[in-house]
Amino acid sequence: MSVRLREALRDAAAEVPAYPVHERAVRTARRTRRRMAAAIAAVLVLVALVPVAARGGGRPSIAPAGVDGPALPDRIGLPPLGSLRATDRPRLGPAALIFSGQARGLTGLIDEDGTVGIVGADADRYRTWTVGHEAPAGEQVLLSPDGRRIAVPAGSWEDPGVDLVDLVDGTVRRLPSPRQGSTLTEPAGWAPDGTALVVRDTTPANPEGSAYVNTLSLVRLDTGRAVRLLETDKLPIFGTPVAFSADGSRLAYQVGDKVLVAGSDGHSITSFPLPPESGLAGKGAWLTDGSLALVSRDPGTTRWRLRRVDPTSGQDLGMLALPPVDGVTTIRLLGWWPDGSALVVGYRPDPHAPARFDGPLDMDQRTVYPNVEAVRVLNLAPGAAGSNTLLTAPDQVLAIDVADAVVRAGRVRAADPPSGPGGRVWWAAGAAALVLGGLAAARLLRRRRAHLSLRSAHLVREEGQHRRGQGG
């Protein structure tokens, strides 16, 4: 190479700016991290918003004009796959009703029909709670009068109790058994103001466990103080066995073929035998005039009626001026609407059930799962020719309980049960998207770093060669 050519190349190289290898790599890496952080933040926002948008798997219901506050939906559906649990966020708030049975979403391979569906008081927001064993809603799982809490049998035979699941704040409180030696504690009735709960305990009567004693106790929720109402070797039967008077001062419950009335202090007031094919009507059995309602079957039919009796003597006061309900295994009284009509659950018989429902059958067998195909909620208006269906449910929804606040409101809303996946499915999808997004971003970052390293090495090699050329 001539001296003139070498000097010309040196002058040209001096005019070319040096490539900032290190500074450029740092800026690129920072830009990549910012982009990855923005992507992750976007995924997190999506995950946070999905449960709100999904509302546990449903769409907003369309309520009739003027309806505000708690109301009975005119139909219910099944819990969506992946429904949010009762304690999940966003909180459900007070419920209109709970239901159970053997339909999809209410049973599983190991929980023995132990899932309870929960429906919001003012919208079709669904939640679930798993009991772990068969526990019919309205009989062994009870909704509080205001719809805020559900009482669920819980614990093991060594540590029995009742779980109080709060649908407003998501807490679960254990109410221990008030009966020493009990192996099973179940809720049996809420006081009207929700401050006390009647529980039923089953206790072995001998070391062999061949006989049992059943105890009813009224437990104050604030202090845990318990008042014993009854101890017997017979089981209280037919749905919720305890019916409170409106002021909470008296309780009525059925044991075998008798109705017993007691004060909230545990003092026994009276007892009287039941006529054949009849039973205490349900948790709404007390009428405003102080009489008690019974359910009774017309002989040889599947037609059921409500009748009144005097709670002090058991004297029959005649049929109520309400329409009968036909074609059911029995009915259970939930309560009374402001206009004086009765709200009842009708149990539609399973056509494949071995029992005949137009003949004698123990009352507690008329509501067991194998004998029922579906339930519906009916309105029995004074003087009406027939019952009016207020709520329908899918087949194999076999038990239901409605909050007293909803019964007293006397309103029905047009329902739109949820469809598609539930909130937990969206949570899982969001979490999966977050993980996959993070892995993709990390892979992209590694590739960029590798590319920058190769580019930096290449540029450094070229610069070295160039400088050696200048020094030549």
Question: Does the pLDDT at position 168 exceed 90?
Answer: yes
Per residue in 391-414, pLDDT (tens digit) is 999 999 999 999 999 999 999 999
What are the structural domain ranges in the chain? 3-50+426-471, 57-421
Question: Does the pLDDT at position 37 exceed 60?
Answer: no
pLDDT of residue 43: 43
What's the rounded Cα separation, in Å, for the pair 459 and 454?
9
Enumerate residues 6+ apart whose C-beta is below 8 A from 402. 72, 96, 97, 143, 334, 335, 343, 377
Per residue in 7-19, pLDDT (tens digit) is 655 555 555 455 4
- Residue 429 DSSP SS3: helix
Q: Domain 57-421 is in which class?
A: mainly beta
What's the pTM? 0.80
Per residue in 263-280, pLDDT (tens digit) is 999 999 999 999 989 999
pLDDT of residue 109: 60
Cα 334 to Cα 123, 194, 378, 401, distances in angstroms: 21, 16, 10, 8
Residue of 220, 219, 184 lying closest to 201 (CA atoms): 184
What's the rounded Cα separation, in Å, for the pair 311 and 285?
11
What's the rounded Cα separation, in Å, for the pair 44 and 51?
12
Per residue in 201-221, pLDDT (tens digit) is 999 999 888 899 999 999 999
What's the rounded Cα separation, in Å, for the pair 192 and 199?
15
What's the rounded Cα separation, in Å, for the pair 472 and 461?
17
What token pair was written down for 348?
Answer: 């539609």
Q: How confident is the model at residue 45 (pLDDT cuts 50, 70, 90)?
A: very low
pLDDT of residue 468: 64
What token pair was written down for 259?
Answer: 């109705």
pLDDT of residue 236: 76
